[in-house]
Amino acid sequence: MLYLKTDEEIGLLKESNMLVSKTLAEVARHIRPGVTTLYLDEIAETFIRDHSAVPAFKGYSGFPNTLCTSVNDEVVHGIPSNYVLKDGDIISVDCGATLNGWVGDSAFTFAVGEIKEEIRRLLVFTRASLEEGVKAAIAGNRIGDVSNAVQSKAESGGYSVVRELVGHGIGKKMHEPPEVPNFGKKGTGPKIEKGLVICIEPMINLGSKETLQMSDGWTIKTADGKPSAHFEYAVAVNKGKADVLTTFEFIEEVLNKL
């Protein structure tokens, strides 16, 4: 059963997702060599609570923090810690916030200092694969069309797509039907209609697609130890063109000033 939202509900979802977008931009101000991932987490939690919202991840199935901070070969669900960021790292920051009962969810992978060109290209292709997925998220299409668009773009760059982790519907709960894989065949899966809100979140690896779960029960790493990138939008399906409820514009403004 897919829960289609009204225009009013989508408006509320946009507010919570815009708060997440602004939180990620606030975090972006502090990403530099010498900073711990736990410090970034504290920045995010304070910002969310100062804006009359609550962190959506904290306590979710026992997750201990506000952000998922996944560095280098960590794909997703990294737990903030005393790890000190260093020049050449990349860090995926995934953030969720609940505002007025509705959940926002977005992720962005940041470069720390100067990164290798091959890793920069991975980030470019992962973000581009997200944009291709958004183009396919239109009423009348199927989930497989979105999945195939992401996969095709990522693999055209020579990258591999993580299979075990997927995007999802979002609303009053962080995870609602349907699942949104980053791989698949056109014309397959549930039909998507106006009012469906989904999170599209490519997790793309520089090396092979295989992953491992760490002993903390959360952190997912690449099996070969090569870097992974992750970008995520919340998107409302519409006719002709999807309505992206999150934005990276606030992040870009910050990064362009640094």
**pLDDT bracket for residue 5 (50, 70, 90):** very high
Q: Angle, nearest 10°, between helix axes 37-50 and 7-28?
A: 140
Domain that holds residue 106: 7-257
Q: For residue range 200-251, list pLDDT tens digits in order.
A: 999 999 999 999 999 999 999 999 999 999 999 999 999 999 999 999 999 9
Identify the H or E element spanning 13: helix 7-28
Q: Domain count of the chain?
A: 1
Percent of the chain past pLDDT 70, that is, above it, reads 100
Could you report the per-residue pLDDT of 24-39, keeping only the tens digit for each?
A: 999 999 999 999 999 9
pLDDT at 1 > cutoff 90? no
Q: Is residue 1 part of a domain?
A: no
User: Domain containing 14 — which CATH number?
Assistant: 3.90.230.10
- Residue 2, domain member (yes or no): no
Whether 198 maps to a domain, the answer reads yes
Tell me what pLDDT residue 109 has: 98
Backbone angles phi, psi at 232, to 5 degrees: -145, 135
Mean residue pLDDT of the chain comes to: 98
Tokens 């970034």, located at residue: 40
How confident is residue 258, by pLDDT bands cut at 50, 70 and 90?
Answer: confident
- Mean per-residue pLDDT for 118-133? 98
pLDDT tens digits, one per residue of 133-147: 999 999 999 999 999
Rounded to an integer, what distance in angstroms lies between the CA atom of residue 43 and that of residue 86? 19
- With respect to residue 182, please indicate whether it lies within any of the assigned structural domains: yes
151, part of any domain: yes
pLDDT digits (tens, 9 = 90+) for 52-91: 999 999 999 999 999 999 999 999 999 999 999 999 999 9
Percent over 90 (pLDDT), the chain: 99
Cβ atoms within 10 A of the Cβ of 50, count?
A: 10
**Residue whose tokens read 């063109």:** 241
